Structure 1
Amino acid sequence: MYHTAHLFGLDFISAPSLAEVLDDIMDYQNNPLNEHKLPFVITPNADQIVKLDQPQHHALKEKLRQALFILPDGQPIVWFSRLVRKPLMARLTGSDLFPLLWRRAKQSRQKVLVIVSNETLGLKLKQDYDNIVIYAPPVFELNTPKFDKIHKEVVDKINAFQPQYVIIGVGFPKQEWLGLAIRASLKEQLMPSPLFLCLGASAEFYVGTIKRSPLFLQKVGLEWLYRLWLEPRRMWRRYILGAISLLRLFGKELKKEWFHKKFST
């Protein structure tokens, strides 16, 4: 069994492992309680919760609050939850979820549409499992004619293929906005909605184009250190400067928790 913990304005799932959640993810369509929720799986990490707190991402955060499954991907989120006595049982990562869901989908021959960042990745996934449709969009920006064209093409593919799952791995926040636009179009057409999984680079970890950190670093929450060592020029700003923003956000949340406890007792 699992429960949720409200942190940073989101209801994170608290479970000892992904195994506790996987059945509900795979069977989400058969749960009537899900009708009024957004059929999305999101896995916010520390960098994303900082960005979601910024004014330019508030509209996105309001929509993602309604996601069916919000998994704590970042170890700092788990640490903070314990500090404010809303303990999350474990870190639940998109990179760990992908192979579990992929294996289940293959076993039951469920249809999956995967939106990936490049054709090479798509071909590797297709070689691994044939009952999928791959879509590798060109580079795009949000709120542009190209974005509108891409989302309409995906809607057409969904209507033709009728997948149970749509996995989107084109990076935050593009993948979330793309999924939301596709879902809105399907709703307007009164078409059934698949489950959207915004999983970033998880497919790349799965096929091996990007290497994950050693397991012992993952377990102690130092996966970021490995990625910083691999890509220092690209990652230093995200991890070093991002840590400052994260500490500010933690301070802000601690104040909220203090005021809530003070005036609710």
Structure 2
Amino acid sequence: MTVTPSIMPAIERRHFLGVPFDRIAFDDVIRLIGDTRDDPAYRYIVTPNVDHIVRLAQHPELLPYYENAWLTLCDSKPVSMLAKAVPITLPRVTGADLTACLFGLVIRDGDHITMIAPSQNVIDQMRTRFPHLHIRAHVPPYGVLNNPAELQRCVDFAVQEKADFIFVAIGSPQSEKIAYEISKHPEATGICLCIGAALEFMTGMKKRAPRWMSRTGLEWLHRLGSDPGRLWRRYLFSVLPLLGMAVREIPRGWWARLRG
């Protein structure tokens, strides 16, 4: 299958909870990537969720990773729902769904794919599943965010491979930092995506929430149940700050709307 080329409308970028979001629907994102996939210029896509938003409020020095992205897409149903109260429409585009559709609709046999992956097992399973792709991959050590030499090794690897697509799947904010640092290299090429656990979902190493939970904004509950020891603290310290930020911003949005 291929994506039919089309003329895309201008993409509006709005800020919500201190984070830029591009207002573009899922199908239009796929179409845009398909239309521009043969452009050798480097560009990258980030998909902030609740965890990203709260972290950015605490560490604003990370904001350039999102501001300079080609596309910044909302990967959170709760955030998309909260935005409606401003009111702002933020289409939800998850990294997992986006990655799966790209491999099904846009990526072609023979394409060169670079992966900054969480494990060798993920790489092996992706190569088995897609034998007609040229997959080159690097698995950085744990703690790469605080290891400048290893982080630079990720950047250099991605630049040297000259890939059609680059998938950075080692969590946030290290994935976004790598994508941003690649953008500063004059020889960088391809479309880069920061995709969280998308490769692990594709290979079956992690199980996604049922579709009904995703549609209703309860995907976080499924993840918590799947890995409570690791995620309970993250969710506890993300949800309350997010609600506090929303309580402050939503009235300002309505006030600005009334004045305008």
**TM class, shorter-chain normalised?**
0.7 to 0.9
Question: What is the alpha-carbon distance in structure 1 between the residues aligned to residue 38 and residue 126 of structure 2?
Answer: 28
Residue 140 of structure 2 is matched in structure 1 by 137
Q: Could you tell me which of 179, 203, 215 is aligned with 1:207?
A: 203
Number of residues paired by the alignment? 249
Counting only pairs closer than 5 Å after superposition, residues 23-102 of structure 1 correspond to structure 2 as 23-28=31-36, 39-54=43-58, 56=59, 58-88=60-90, 90-102=91-103
Q: Considering Cα pairs closer than 8 Å and 6+ residues apart, tell me whether 1 or 2 has the greater RCO.
A: 2
Q: Structure 1, residues 105-149: CA drift from partner, whole Å, max 9, x if none? A: 5435321101111111111111122411111112234343xx324
SS in 1 for 2:230: helix
Partner SS for 1:248: helix
Q: Give the conservation status (yes or no) of the 8 Å contact 1:126–1:134.
A: no
- Matched-pair identity in %: 26
Kindly provide the amino acid, as one letter, of the partner of residue 164 in structure 1.
Answer: D
Alignment of structure 1 residues 228-239 onto 2, 5 Å: 228-239=224-235
CA distance in 1 between partners of 2:94 and 2:154 (Å): 29
The yes-or-no answer on 1:12 pairing with 2:16 is: no
* Cα gap change, 1:26 to 1:70, in 2 (>3 Å): same
Aligned-pair CA distance for 1:241: 3.3
Q: CA deviation at 1:255?
A: 4.6
Gaps of 5+ in 2: 1-7
Query: Distance between the aligned counterparts of 2:121 and 2:178, measured in 1?
Result: 21
Mark the CA change 1:30 to 1:244 in structure 2 (over 3 Å): closer, same or farther. same
Structure 1 portions without partners, runs of 5+: none
TM-score, structure 1 normalization: 0.83
Q: Distance in 2 between matches of 1:114 and 1:71?
A: 20
Q: Distance in 2 between matches of 1:169 and 1:63?
A: 15
- Check whether the contact 2:47–2:73 (CA below 8 A) recurs between aligned residues: yes
Deviates more, 1:243-252 or 1:229-238: 229-238
- Write the distance in 1 (CA, Å) between the matches of 2:154 and 2:61: 24
Higher helix share: 1
Residue 172 of structure 1 corresponds to: 172
**Corresponding residue for residue 249 of structure 2:** 253
Instruction: Confirm or deny: 8 A CA contact 1:73 1:94 kept in the other structure.
Output: yes
Alpha carbons of structure 1 residues 111 and 30: separation in structure 2 relative to 1, 3 Å: closer
Distance 1:224 1:62 in 2: 26
Deviation at 1:208, TM superposition (A): 0.5
SS of match in other structure, 1:41 = strand
Match of 1:124 in 2: 125
